[in-house]
């Protein structure tokens, strides 16, 4: 599940990947003609709208792709970097960049492309840009107020407008297509060309336009990964076909004492309940957070056995069922509730004088195991509690 | 040799979108350019005037948040890639060569001065706006960032608003 950095690909190796992604970026920019300043500013005088076409198509493609990957659970949209919004500096900075664009004829990325193929004006632009950045870093105290004012956080435009991502996606794609058609007429008019287009090319463009709308339609109307999981769970429940492997508390206690290292004892109650009392060596994965990406490895691994427990029979069964659909680990549920477990082991009442031999040996077993579990917790304390893996939000930016 | 024609802009845009999507999928963030310029500036300042860099809050902050130094940065490696990729494309298409491109009505000096001033404004603006056309506008659009889209509107809005006044630079 993406993003691959930092859990699957290390930060270090991501630099190598950056180089290759940059090669792709530069190659395409140059192929599109972004290394020519006159082609770039053509956008502002109506004789060449290449920039708008490339830019919008790229934006729509990437946006539709991000939504699609997120829909099928391949990309975690909660952790990807959404550029934060600082209203004043975004608008003022953008306006200054706009002035720089019309005077200098490049933007930073395109100037690097043009420099690579030997454009001297691009060299001057890069030199100027470095001076500009230097002016900013030196004069930072003067602009710090504007730079940090109106912080709205990592807000999406769809949230701001109060619509769903997918609806905004549709609108943006429709806007882009409208802009493509309109600018085609404008460009022909400015260049005094006849607006003719061959039937074949027109059909190809029509299919191309269909592409993003189909992708957005899939995201909007077909069930996503979590819908599918929930539906399967509901189906199985309705048909009563789910089989649960149960583990009695006595057996679990024995396993904890002897094999704690091949066991994940998972408490699916709320963190407050977990704090109040939990089984020895247990980790807490609240039921409503089971789908979180940070817990996925636990349900996918095949080295340890997962044992779920809670206070309610339904909750623990639901949790086990969820786990089954997330991964292929071996999953058990504890037959007893956590309260029963505590009473059985840690709140033992010694049997009376007329107790049977069986009761006595059970008492002995349980009190011994309880002592061993307490010992185990004591010694494990120093090794460290189960590692809490925190979701890393990607830092990014230009 | 006659340079080869440019790629169809929609195809180029589609491919660029895939590169951007791959970047987001792999690293969780978009492409960028001006960040690499910032690394150049900070490395230069730290190299030339270490005393000054240590005493100025901005550089000290950068050092604190980037303990591995300005060079070990995603955007720096990416921009090196851009140089390689663009050069490769230019060679394939027969577009390389030292050349000063300008509007038909301006002198070389005017063009160079214009490029430096424009570059300086762009560099300054990109730091204030937290990203340039790639990092803020394009990548911001892909993840539907409000700030990114506002910056994009501001860039193109300002350029369109002023296009008339600078037409001598570009038109006959």
HEC profile for A81-95?
CCCCEEHHHHHHHHH
Contact A105 B132 (CB under 8 A): no
* Min Cα separation A33/chain B (Å): 6
Summarize pLDDT for A178-226 with one digit per residue, the tens: 999 999 999 999 988 887 888 888 899 999 999 999 999 999 998 888 7
Q: Look up residue A389 and give its DSSP letter.
A: P
Strand pairing partners for A283? A266
Strand pairing partners for B99? A119
What are the structural domains of chain A? 11-226 (no CATH), 246-384 (3.40.250.10)
Tokens coding A146: 């504007």
Residue B137, classified by CB atoms within 10 Å of its CB into exposed (0-12), middle (13-18) or buried (19+), is buried
In this prediction, residue A300 carries a pLDDT of 86
Evaluate if residue A393 carries a pLDDT over 70. no
In this prediction, residue A72 carries a pLDDT of 87
- Alpha-carbon distance A367 to A380, whole Å? 20
* Ramachandran assignment for A192, one of left (phi > 0), alpha (psi -120 to 50 degrees), beta (any other): left
How do A151-153 and A85-86 pair as beta strands? antiparallel
Contact B138, A55 (CB under 8 A): yes
- Alpha-carbon distance B127 to A398, whole Å? 8
Tokens coding A303: 């080295």
- Alpha-carbon distance A296 to B70, whole Å? 35
In this prediction, residue A156 carries a pLDDT of 92
The helix/strand/coil state of A110 is helix
Query: Within 13 A of B141's CA, how many CA atoms are on the CB side?
Result: 24
* Ramachandran assignment for B131, one of left (phi > 0), alpha (psi -120 to 50 degrees), beta (any other): left
Tokens coding B77: 């490696």
Evaluate if residue A398 carries a pLDDT over 70. no
Summarize pLDDT for B38-74 with one digit per residue, the tens: 999 999 999 999 999 889 889 988 888 888 888 988 9
Give the residue-averaged pLDDT of A357-376. 88
Give the residue-averaged pLDDT of A336-352. 86
* Min Cα separation B28/chain A (Å): 5
Q: Look up residue A332 and give its DSSP letter.
A: E
In this prediction, residue B137 carries a pLDDT of 92
- Give the A:B interface size as CB pairs under 8 Å: 565
- Alpha-carbon distance B29 to B15, whole Å? 18
Based on its alpha-carbon atoms, the radius of gyration of chain B, rounded to whole angstroms, reads 19
* pTM of the full structure: 0.83
Sequence-distant (6+) residues with CB within 8 A of A375 are none
Evaluate if residue A37 carries a pLDDT over 70. yes
Residue from the list A104, A109, A146 with its beta carbon closest to the beta carbon of B33: A109
Contact B31, B134 (CB under 8 A): yes
Confidence label for A175 from pLDDT (cuts 50, 70 and 90): very high
Contact A98 B162 (CB under 8 A): yes
Strand pairing partners for A309? A267
Q: CA of A206: how far to CAs of A12, A178, B11, B15, in Å?
A: 43, 13, 14, 18
In this prediction, residue B107 carries a pLDDT of 93
Confidence label for A241 from pLDDT (cuts 50, 70 and 90): low
Evaluate if residue A242 carries a pLDDT over 60. yes
Summarize pLDDT for B106-159 with one digit per residue, the tens: 999 999 999 999 999 999 999 999 999 998 999 999 999 999 999 999 999 999
Q: What is the mean pLDDT of chain A?
A: 88
- Alpha-carbon distance B8 to A146, whole Å? 41
- Cis? peptide before A3, omega within 30° of 0: yes
In this prediction, residue A223 carries a pLDDT of 87
Give the residue-averaged pLDDT of A362-385. 82
Evaluate if residue A240 carries a pLDDT over 80. no
Contact B138 A172 (CB under 8 A): no
**Which residue in B4, B11, B13 has the most chain A C-beta atoms within 10 A of its own C-beta, making it the best mutation to test that interface?**
B13
């Amino acid at each position: 599940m993406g993003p691959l950095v930092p859990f699957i690909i290390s930060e270090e190796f991501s630099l190598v990947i950056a180089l290759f992604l940059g090669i792709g970026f530069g190659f395409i920019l140059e192929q599109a003609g972004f290394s020519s300043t006159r082609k770039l500013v053509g956008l502002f005088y109506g004789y060449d709208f290449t920039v708008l076409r490339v830019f919008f198509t790229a934006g729509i493609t990437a946006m539709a792709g991000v939504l699609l990957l997120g829909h099928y659970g391949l990309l975690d949209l909660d952790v990807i970097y959404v550029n934060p919004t600082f209203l004043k500096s975004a608008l003022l900075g953008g306006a200054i960049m706009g002035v720089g664009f019309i005077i200098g004829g490049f933007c930073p990325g395109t100037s690097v492309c043009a420099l690579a193929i030997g454009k001297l004006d691009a060299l001057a632009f890069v030199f100027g840009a470095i001076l500009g950045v230097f002016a900013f870093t030196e004069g930072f105290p003067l602009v710090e107020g504007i730079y940090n004012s109106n912080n709205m956080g990592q807000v999406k435009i769809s949230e701001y407008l109060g619509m769903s991502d997918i609806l905004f996606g549709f609108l943006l794609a429709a806007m882009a297509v409208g802009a493509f058609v309109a600018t085609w007429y404008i460009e022909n008019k400015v260049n005094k060309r006849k607006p003719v287009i061959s039937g074949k090319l027109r059909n190809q463009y029509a299919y191309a336009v269909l592409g993003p709308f189909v992708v957005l339609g899939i995201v909007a109307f077909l069930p996503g990964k979590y819908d599918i999981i929930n539906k399967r769970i509901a189906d199985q429940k309705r048909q009563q076909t789910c089989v649960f492997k149960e583990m009695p508390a006595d057996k679990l206690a024995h396993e904890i004492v002897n094999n704690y290292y091949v066991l994940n004892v998972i408490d699916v109650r709320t963190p407050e309940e977990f704090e109040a009392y939990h089984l020895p060596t247990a980790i807490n994965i609240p039921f409503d957070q089971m789908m979180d990406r940070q817990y996925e490895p636990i349900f996918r691994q095949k080295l340890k056995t997962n044992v779920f427990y809670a206070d309610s029979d339904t909750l623990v069964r639901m949790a086990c069922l969820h786990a089954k659909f997330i991964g292929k680990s071996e999953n058990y549920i504890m037959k007893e509730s956590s309260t029963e477990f505590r009473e059985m082991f840690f709140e033992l009442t010694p049997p009376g004088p007329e107790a049977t031999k069986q009761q006595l040996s059970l008492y002995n077993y349980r009190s011994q195991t309880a002592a061993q579990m307490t010992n185990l917790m004591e010694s494990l304390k120093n090794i460290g509690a189960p590692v809490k893996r925190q979701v890393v939000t990607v830092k990014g930016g230009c | 040799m006659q340079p080869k024609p440019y790629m169809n802009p929609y195809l180029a845009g589609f491919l660029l979108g895939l590169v951007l999507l791959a970047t987001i999928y792999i690293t969780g963030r978009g492409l960028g350019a001006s960040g690499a310029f910032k690394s150049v500036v900070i490395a230069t300042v730290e190299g030339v005037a270490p005393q000054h860099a240590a005493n100025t809050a901005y550089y000290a902050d950068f050092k604190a948040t980037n303990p591995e130094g300005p060079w070990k940065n995603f955007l720096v490696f990416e921009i090196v890639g851009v140089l390689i990729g663009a050069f490769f494309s230019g060679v394939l298409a027969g577009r390389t060569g030292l050349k000063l491109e300008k509007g038909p009505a301006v002198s070389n000096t005017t063009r160079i001065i214009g490029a430096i001033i424009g570059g300086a404004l762009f560099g300054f603006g990109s730091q204030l706006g937290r990203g340039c056309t790639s990092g803020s506008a394009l990548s911001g659009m892909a993840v539907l960032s409000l700030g990114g889209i506002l910056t994009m509107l501001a860039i193109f809005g300002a350029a369109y608003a002023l296009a008339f006044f600078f037409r001598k630079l570009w038109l006959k």
